[in-house]
């Protein structure tokens, strides 16, 4: 693997936003939403908060104790440079609980704890590497890092690279945190496991999606189509590798699985994948300005090009003018609807197997998906601060059938 370029300047690191996004309002909202989930059989407010807090304590202890070796960048330095943010693992643990409890609530509490911990480590490692890759180095280095990341999440034997630069050590910290996910899941996964095989395949697809997302910059987006984004780039969604962790632990808890169990796992995994892929589109809406400034492919632009709302020559304009045009031609709203099209497909997939499902608390999982949608769209609301964005958040908690998607967006259903 190539080492990190030595000419990366400190001021580029300093440009990474450091706001943790953790305040009293969000904490109260999170507890309130967990409380509202108590009507489902898999969720108990006290038990959920207890497990989340236990995971966060264990995770922070491991950050302090395991990253104190010279080959790693420690949590203090990672935080000071904005590569690690407390919100990554706080939100990670909270969102992990929303899917782990509906799947593992019938079993020993240790299974739920381990699933939440492994998913918290997974998303934190991914976010740190995203922060490094998006802002700091060229594609060839990023591809090498993604492939090494795959090894850290999936290989029995992993050799930590020897690096001297700060960013090299920061990457090593990513790999070390990824190993916590690997070790937690692998230690609980039976030999010849059905779910472990899926976990390995899905991680390969996830890394391929990450690499595909690097293949097009803004100057190439006229060649890169929204179809390609939906079918290839959106594989960077963490949905499957996220829920696979729950299923690896579920297989261990069950001892053995029948065909019905496997069908439930397949359909639930497919549904959660749709939820997260829809949220990727919402993220693109919120991150539009930042993505354009960093020349990162964004689905809002691709969709607007495909619909003829903007022309290829508009990509040559300054970013401020391009964003203004995208807003004026309602490209933002179109992208939200595209996200909804994918997200709602997840709800439909879960509802199809609702009656035959004896493992998963489907209603609880769907409500967790509604919280996930609101969580993703809230980033857009923070930028826009408009009635429209607020109402879009509130739609998350209503009946999905009340989200009316225009026919011209439905045409993209064939690609999902």
My answer on whether 221 and 162 are in the same domain is no
My answer on whether 264 and 181 are in the same domain is no
DSSP 191-230: TT-HHHHHHHHHHHHHHHHHHHHTS--GGGTTTS-HHHHH
My answer on whether 296 and 174 are in the same domain is no
Q: How far is CA 79 from CA 54, 302, 384, in A?
A: 21, 34, 27
Structural domains in the chain (count): 2
My answer on whether 66 and 120 are in the same domain is yes
Q: Tell whether 59 is covered by a domain.
A: yes
Distance in angstroms (rounded) separating the CA atoms of residues 331 and 247: 37
My answer on whether 170 and 250 are in the same domain is no
> Chunked in runs of 10, what are the mean pLDDT values of the chain (416 residues)?
38 42 57 71 85 96 96 96 92 93 93 97 96 71 92 96 91 98 92 91 92 63 78 89 96 88 91 96 91 85 95 86 93 95 95 77 92 87 73 81 93 95
Cα atoms found within 13 Å of the Cα of residue 51, Cβ hemisphere only: 29
Q: Tell whether 116 is covered by a domain.
A: yes
My answer on whether 138 and 252 are in the same domain is no
My answer on whether 173 and 221 are in the same domain is no
Position 69 scores a pLDDT of: 94
Q: Which domain holds residue 88?
A: 16-188
My answer on whether 272 and 174 are in the same domain is no
Cα atoms found within 13 Å of the Cα of residue 218, Cβ hemisphere only: 21
């Amino acid at each position: 693997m190539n080492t990190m370029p030595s000419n990366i300047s400190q001021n580029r690191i300093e440009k990474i936003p450091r706001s943790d996004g953790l305040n009293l309002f969000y904490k109260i909202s999170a507890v309130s939403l967990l409380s509202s989930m108590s009507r489902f059989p898999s969720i108990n407010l006290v038990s959920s908060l207890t497990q989340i807090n236990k995971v966060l304590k264990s995770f922070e202890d491991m950050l302090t104790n395991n990253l104190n070796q010279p080959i790693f960048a420690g949590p203090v330095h990672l935080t000071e440079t904005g590569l690690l943010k407390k919100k990554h693992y706080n939100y990670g643990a909270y969102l992990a609980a929303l899917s782990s409890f509906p799947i593992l609530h019938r079993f020993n509490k240790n299974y739920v704890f381990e699933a939440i911990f492994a998913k918290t480590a997974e998303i934190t490692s991914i976010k740190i590497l995203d922060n490094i890759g998006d802002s700091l180095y060229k594609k060839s280095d990023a591809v090498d890092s993604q492939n090494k990341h795959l090894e850290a999440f999936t290989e029995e034997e992993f050799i930590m690279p020897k690096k001297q630069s700060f960013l090299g050590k920061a990457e090593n910290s990513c790999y070390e945190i990824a190993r916590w996910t690997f070790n937690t899941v692998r230690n609980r996964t039976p030999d010849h496991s059905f779910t472990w095989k899926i976990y390995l395949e899905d991680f390969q697809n996830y890394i391929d999606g990450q690499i595909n997302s690097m293949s097009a910059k803004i100057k190439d987006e006229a060649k890169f189509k929204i179809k390609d984004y939906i079918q290839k780039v959106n594989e960077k969604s963490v949905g499957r590798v996220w829920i696979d962790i729950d299923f690896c632990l579920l297989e261990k808890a069950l001892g053995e699985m029948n065909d019905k169990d496997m069908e439930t796992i397949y359909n639930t995994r497919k549904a959660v994948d749709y939820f997260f892929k829809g949220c990727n589109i919402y993220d693109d809406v919120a991150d539009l300005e930042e993505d354009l400034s960093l020349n990162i492919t964004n689905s809002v632009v691709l969709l607007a090009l495909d619909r003829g709302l903007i022309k290829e020559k508009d990509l040559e304009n300054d970013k401020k003018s391009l964003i203004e045009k995208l807003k004026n031609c309602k490209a933002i709203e179109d992208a939200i609807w595209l996200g909804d099209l994918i997200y709602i497909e997840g709800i439909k997939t879960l509802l199809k197997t609702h009656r035959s499902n004896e493992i998963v608390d489907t209603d609880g999982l769907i409500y967790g998906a509604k919280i996930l949608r609101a969580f993703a769209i809230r980033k857009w609301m923070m930028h826009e601060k408009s009635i429209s964005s607020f109402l879009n958040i509130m739609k998350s908690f209503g009946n999905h059938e009340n989200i009316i998607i225009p026919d011209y967006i439905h045409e993209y259903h064939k690609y999902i």
